[in-house]
């Protein structure tokens, strides 16, 4: 081995899998060839609540191999996730719930037969409307990710009563849906008693464990292949019904079975970001020092599973306040179960908090950047992001008064918001093997969702082994490899990179006495310092039409502290992607639930609006690139979600600055501008 190699970490290395993806050589879950492949098509519930009495099948469908429903499906073992108990009960808990699976020799035949299936259902009254005064609203013990639902420090009520300046506002965020380019998809095949799953997910090891338990198998007898993933945004972090249904179909028919969810089914079966009703009360001194914050969130979950969006939790960590209270309440409704969506909790929570702080700054007559600086004495990197971001954006030229800039029919305004996201790592194991001729294989059961994880791990290994990056061969996306944590929570690179670093160092320490080394980070991760965060500051400029009320984001800039940036090319992509997703959250995205039918009425990409190229006029990101070496051996922090946290609030605050109108119910549509009074 030689150390005379240019460092790979920190270099803008192109994605290693890029050529395979653009040439079509990269295989996604539904693209693995199988002999005698059969196709499954889900028959969804047409009602939001009731009981399934019978499934009637047209016997003339010659190409149909089987129609499974609770009356004939094999029995599954109990699961911690009741949504994976597919076809096991006559109970209907939400519209779109899988009630039957048609398996046929072609996709067209399966779909045609599924449309012809008749369901005998005893429909019951349903309730799908979230209201702050809902009689079934209650306080849960914990919210995701398993943290206490409530917290309290000091005397919040007394502090708010005595505060010279107070703000009491309510912000609402609607349900949102993950819309990865690749839909949830699985090909299942049984080899004797072993199960093989080609599955689009964010956690091959976890999927093997979960699906194995459902079928009474140890994880070692479930082989999950997840070589390439076309996005997930959290929705593929755990096993979804498509994987279980495909495995059921394959067991019954004795053939490989493919189940690919159509786009509309993804709006019901795989989860969504829950809506939130957030009341934020803030108290401050006349010079802008925060004295009290009370942040209360009301949200919803399903009848099947309690999943509580943790929007108020982020307020516990951003600004040190002597009197702080946060809490959550939830209503269980006849809706699909909410799930992880990029920056769960933090993304909606910072909308409420950072918009409320903007309102406080106006009340105080204080610059919004300065307000945050004054209240961040223990977070110098956050302060640096605020100062540096403001300088790069040209914030000092801003007239603080709203509605002062007019260019033709367009009113211009600028706004900003802070950002934070936990910096953490989870236990993972990596193996490094010397292949001879100066080449090495790095193996870990990680998943690359398009974030560049494959490339970053190769960069880390190349530096630790002292070889060029093209001498490192990465194997990921396979549950039979050393176990890795989920690709989520902005923890992937920190978790897997730590394990790869350790394995490479173990191999070098062996000094030729062994050609293989394995490293498990479990004990080290357990000793990791808690309450560490990545930070950032967002700045936005918007134009609002005085004629139509249309809102255009003309400039969007983010300044971040992500520790050491392992690859500036892939990092920039992650930052910008998060910011654009935040733009969608602020201006476009809203899942509309019809209370009469209990269904999402805009359940496709024609009506569920996300940003397009035309919406992204000018966007950029920069970072401090200051290693945090006591966090992990790479000195890095996760960056996959910090870009969306705070971005919507910056845009909403800019809309106020342009128009004098506060939009407190997202998204900020043109009709809300036209009907509002500044």
- 145 cis-preceded (ω within 30 degrees of 0): yes
Sequence-ordered strand ranges (E) for 550-648? 551-561, 593-594, 599-600, 619-623
User: In degrees to the nearest 10, what's the CA dihedral of 406, 664, 356, 550?
Assistant: -20
Locate 164 and state its tokens: 């010279």
Distances (CA, A) of 610 to 424, 538, 619: 29, 20, 16
Strand partners, 188: 197, 257
336 DSSP 8-state letter: P
Phi, psi of 509 (to 5 degrees): -65, -25
Q: Which long-range contacts (CB under 8 A, 24 or more apart) does 82-91 make?
A: 82/304, 82/305, 83/241, 83/304, 83/305, 83/337, 84/210, 84/214, 84/239, 84/240, 84/241, 84/244, 86/241, 86/244, 86/245, 86/248, 87/245, 87/248, 90/51, 90/52, 90/53, 91/51, 91/52
In the set 309, 359, 628, 641, the catalytic residue is 641
Phi, psi of 220 (to 5 degrees): -65, -15
The span from the CA of 659 to the CA of 678, in Å, is 7
Task: Report the length, in residues, of the chain.
Answer: 678
Residue 644 structure tokens: 């969306």
**Strand, coil or helix: what is 344?**
coil
What would the DSSP string read from start to end of 282-298?
Answer: EEE-TTS-EEEEEEEEE
Give the position of tokens 């951003």: 318
Secondary structure class of 376 (helix, strand, coil): coil
- Report how far apart, in Å, the C-alpha atoms of 585 and of each of 271, 273, 570, 640, 644 are: 17, 11, 23, 16, 9
Classified as helix, coil or strand, 451 is coil
Examine the residue annotation and report whether 617 is marked as an active-site residue of this protein: no
Instruction: Answer for the pair 289, 325: CB distance below 8 angstroms, yes or no.
Output: no
Let me know: does 575 contact 567? Beta carbons within 8 Å: no
A 10 A CB-CB count for 111 gives 16
- The closest alpha carbon to 498, from 406, 441, 547, 428, belongs to 428
414: enclosing H helix or E strand: strand 410-422
Nearest to 166 by CA among 278, 283, 287, 323: 283
By C-alpha distance, which of 327, 357, 362, 381 is closest to 138?
A: 327
d(CA 595, CA 37): 40
Q: Supply φ then ψ for residue 264, to 5 degrees.
A: -65, -35
- Residues involved in catalysis: 641
């Amino acid at each position: 081995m030689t150390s005379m190699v240019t460092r790979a970490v920190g270099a803008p290395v192109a994605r290693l899998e890029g050529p395979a993806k653009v040439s079509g050589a990269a295989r996604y879950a539904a693209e693995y060839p199988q002999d005698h492949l059969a196709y499954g098509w889900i028959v969804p519930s047409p009602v939001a609540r009731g009981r399934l009495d019978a499934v009637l099948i047209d016997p003339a469908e010659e190409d149909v191999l089987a129609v499974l429903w609770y009356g004939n499906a094999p029995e599954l073992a109990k699961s911690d996730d009741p949504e994976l108990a597919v076809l096991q009960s006559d109970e209907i808990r939400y519209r779109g719930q899988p009630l039957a699976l048609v398996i046929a020799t072609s996709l067209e035949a399966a779909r045609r037969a599924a449309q012809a299936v008749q369901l005998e259902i005893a429909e019951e009254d349903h309730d799908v409307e979230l209201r702050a005064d809902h009689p079934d609203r209650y306080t849960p013990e914990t919210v995701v990710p398993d943290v206490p639902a409530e917290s309290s420090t000091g005397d919040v009520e007394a502090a708010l009563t005595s505060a010279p300046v107070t703000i009491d506002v309510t912000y609402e965020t609607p349900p949102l849906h993950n819309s990865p380019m690749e839909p949830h998809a699985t090909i299942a095949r049984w080899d004797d008693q072993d199960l093989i799953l080609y599955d689009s997910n964010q956690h091959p090891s976890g999927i093997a464990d979960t699906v194995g338990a459902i079928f009474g198998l140890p994880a070692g007898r479930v082989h999950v292949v997840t070589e390439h993933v076309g996005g997930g945004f959290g929705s593929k972090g755990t096993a979804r019904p498509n994987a279980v249904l495909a495995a059921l179909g394959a067991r019954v028919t004795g053939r490989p079975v493919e189940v690919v969810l159509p786009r509309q089914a993804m709006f019901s079966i795989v989860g969504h970001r829950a809506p939130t009703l957030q009341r934020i009360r803030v108290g401050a001194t006349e010079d802008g020092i925060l004295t009290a914050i009370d942040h209360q969130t009301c949200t919803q979950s399903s009848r099947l599973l309690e999943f509580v969006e943790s929007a108020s939790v982020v307020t516990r960590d951003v600004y040190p306040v002597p009197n702080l209270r946060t809490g959550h309440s939830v209503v269980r409704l006849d809706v699909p179960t909410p799930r992880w969506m990029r920056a769960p909790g933090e993304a909606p929570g910072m909308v409420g908090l950072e918009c409320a702080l903007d309102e406080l700054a106006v009340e105080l007559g204080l610059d919004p950047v300065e307000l945050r600086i004054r209240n961040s004495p223990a977070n110098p990197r956050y302060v640096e992001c605020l100062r540096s971001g403001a300088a790069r954006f040209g914030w000092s030229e801003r007239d603080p008064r709203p509605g002062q800039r007019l260019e033709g029919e367009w009113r211009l305004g600028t706004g900003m918001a802070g950002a934070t996201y936990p910096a953490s790592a989870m236990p993972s194991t990596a193996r490094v093997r010397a292949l001879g001729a100066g080449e090495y294989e790095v193996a870990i059961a990680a998943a690359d969702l398009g974030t560049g994880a494959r490339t970053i791990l190769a960069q880390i290994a190349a530096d630790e082994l002292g070889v060029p990056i093209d001498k490192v061969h990465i194997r990921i996306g396979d549950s039979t490899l050393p176990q890795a944590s989920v690709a989520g929570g902005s923890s992937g690179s920190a978790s897997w990179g730590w394990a790869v670093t350790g394995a490479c160092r173990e191999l070098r320490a062996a000094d030729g006495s062994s050609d293989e080394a394995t490293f498990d980070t479990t004990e080290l991760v357990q000793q990791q310092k808690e309450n560490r965060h990545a930070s950032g500051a967002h700045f936005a400029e918007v134009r609002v039409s005085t004629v139509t009320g249309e809102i255009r984001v003309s400039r969007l800039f983010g300044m971040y502290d992500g520790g050491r940036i392992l690859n500036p090319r892939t990092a920039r992509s992650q930052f910008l992607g998060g910011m654009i997703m935040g733009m969608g959250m602020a201006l476009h995205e809203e899942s509309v639930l019809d209370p009469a039918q209990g269904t999402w009425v805009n359940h496709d990409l024609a009506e569920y609006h996300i940003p397009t190229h035309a919406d992204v006029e000018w966007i950029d990101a920069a970072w401090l690139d200051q290693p945090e070496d006591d966090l992990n051996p790479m000195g890095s922090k996760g960056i996959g979600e910090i870009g969306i946290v705070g971005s919507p609030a910056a845009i909403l605050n800019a809309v106020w600055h342009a128009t004098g109108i506060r939009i407190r119910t997202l998204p900020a549509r043109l009709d809300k501008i036209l009907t509002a009074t500044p």
